[in-house]
Amino acid sequence: MSDHPRVEIYTKTDCPYCEKAKDLFDSKGVDYVTYNVTGDEERFEEMKERANGRETAPEVFIDDELIGGWDDTSALDATGALDEKLGIAEETDDVVEHRNLIITGTGIAALTAGIYAARSDNDPLLFEGDEPGGQLTLTSEVDNYPGFPEGINGTTLVNDMKEQAKRFGAELEHGIVASVDDGVRPFRVTLENGDVYTADAVIAASGASARTLGIPGEDELMGYGVSTCATCDGAFFRGEDMVVVGGGDAAAEEAVFLTKFAETVYLVHRRDELRAEDYWENRVREHVESGDIEVLWNTEATEIHGSPQDGVDSVDLVYHPEGHPTAKLDDAQTEERALDVGAFFVAIGHTPNTSYLEETGVELDDEGYLRTQGGHGAGQTKTDVEGIFGAGDVVDFHYQQAVTAAGMGSKAALDADEYLEGALSGATGEAEGSAEAPADD
């Protein structure tokens, strides 16, 4: 019998978070068994029962103990507790390692930066964060990334970029950066599990996380019919009516994707027009014409009803002819209604992942996006702290596309290379520069 704990993972077909869970255990060299619940009702019911009624995959168990989904597993990993449960925890000294360049994230921006930085011999180390591969792993269909005439699966694109970065010597490790100390050189980069690394330069490419509505029922039913990832969970609710909340690209794409499974998709938007690019608006319109999407204009959700045992039952909605109805609840024109649905998807945008930079001299805007020099959105990559650079959605609140993230990742690596050449040769003295001093343009 094996000395190691028994790891079991319930998975489904085309489930990016299931792949992330498997990758995590693979990266630790830990064996596991998988049970694919797609099309296997008996396994699905078994998973539900063992996971206290949860209906999402993956569900991870270690020695029969429920660890939970990807978020729970990755959160446990970030604290080091997962390694303890697996019996592979190591005693570590204060500073684990020094690198020329540390990059936060393994999304499109970080991986592109990793490819460029590795090719420039800058020895990059990338930390995966809590969403290895970033947001693009949540979509099965990427049709607008140049070079793929037939389109490409998001996870495939990201995995290919990972292989490309590794080919030139970039290293990828699981870990969430908790803070960066910019008062010393080299920078001290501390992970949530307490490990400390040092680096001569840092590229922040930590993207942005899905926002939620904060309405009653949302937290309680998250994972039980409420989700922020249609590609991960849509198939679980085949044949049900479903709600998607939002009016941008992500909401339009998720609504279109869900038509594969839903009886009807209700796209709930608080204004009277979408903010999605024309391509997605047209796709939504086609599905409206064929009757499988209904757009509920000027409408907001106020409460989700259901239970962890039975999932989502219904959602309360409010409507006002001039939009933003929750701001006009006392208005005579505001109408309330309940809609019976079996699933509820939130697609209302993102919050930048920059909390680890809050104590540094790096300037953040009111929403927490990183300010870099050179203009709006996809501008240049230098922050207010020499040696710390920003790239991708964590900076570029406007464009937020894979190709713009990639472009900015390459710029950040080139800017970091220029900085490192000066800093490491001592030519500019930048390595000893004050954290407060603004970078030269």
Ligand X SMILES: Cc1cc2nc3c(=O)[nH]c(=O)nc-3n(C[C@H](O)[C@H](O)[C@H](O)COP(=O)(O)OP(=O)(O)OC[C@H]3O[C@@H](n4cnc5c(N)ncnc54)[C@H](O)[C@@H]3O)c2cc1C
Q: What string marks each residue from 190 to 229 as x (binds ligand X by CB under 6 A) or -?
A: ---------------xxxx---------------------
Calculate the alpha carbon distances from 277 to 49, 282, 347 in Å. Answer: 42, 9, 15
Q: Which of 293, 343, 336 is nearest to 313 (CA)?
A: 343
Residue 324 neighbours by CB under 8 Å, 6+ apart: 270, 271, 298, 300
Amino acid at 112: T
Query: Is residue 15 annotated as part of the catalytic site, yes or no?
Result: no
Binders of ligand X in range 243-262 (CB under 6 A): 250, 253
| Cβ atoms of 101 and 122 closer than 8 Å | yes
Toward ligand X, which CB reaches closer, 100 or 353?
Answer: 353
Residue 289, both tokens: 């014409």
DSSP 296-313: ETTEEEEEEEEETTTEEE
The continuous run of DSSP H or E covering 62 comes out as strand 59-62
Q: Is 267 near ligand X (CB under 6 A)?
A: no
Question: Binding residues for ligand X, how many (CB under 6 A)?
Answer: 39
- Taking the complex as a whole, how short is the minimal distance between the CB of residue 131 and ligand X, in angstroms? 4
- Taking the complex as a whole, how short is the minimal distance between the CB of residue 77 and ligand X, in angstroms? 12
Interface with ligand X (CB under 6 A), residue from 15, 67, 117, 142: 142
Q: Is 104 near ligand X (CB under 6 A)?
A: yes
Q: Is 180 near ligand X (CB under 6 A)?
A: no
- Taking the complex as a whole, how short is the minimal distance between the CB of residue 331 and ligand X, in angstroms? 34
Interface with ligand X (CB under 6 A), residue from 7, 21, 82, 110: 110
Query: Is residue 18 annotated as part of the catalytic site, yes or no?
Result: no
Which residue do the tokens 């603004």 mark?
A: 438
Q: Is 353 near ligand X (CB under 6 A)?
A: yes
- Taking the complex as a whole, how short is the minimal distance between the CB of residue 431 and ligand X, in angstroms? 23
Binders of ligand X in range 375-394 (CB under 6 A): 392-394
Stretch that binds ligand X, among 8-16, 101-109, 159-167, 313-321 (CB under 6 A): 101-109
Q: Is 16 near ligand X (CB under 6 A)?
A: no
* Residues forming a β-bridge with 306: 312
Which residue do the tokens 């597993």 mark?
A: 73
Calculate the alpha carbon distances from 265 to 104, 261, 277, 322, 338 in Å. Answer: 36, 9, 19, 23, 15
Query: Is residue 229 annotated as part of the catalytic site, yes or no?
Result: yes
Residue 191 neighbours by CB under 8 Å, 6+ apart: 78, 127, 175, 176, 177, 178, 197
Catalytic residue among 229, 393, 396, 417: 229
The terminus-to-terminus CA distance of the chain in angstroms comes to: 62
Q: Is the peptide bond before 186 cis (omega within 30 degrees of 0)?
A: yes
Residue 346, both tokens: 């939130």
Toward ligand X, which CB reaches closer, 135 or 372?
Answer: 135
| Binding residues vs ligand X (CB under 6 A) | 104-110, 127-132, 134-136, 138-139, 142, 144-145, 176-177, 205-208, 250, 253, 353, 356, 392-394, 400-403, 405
Which residues are known catalytic residues?
229, 232-233
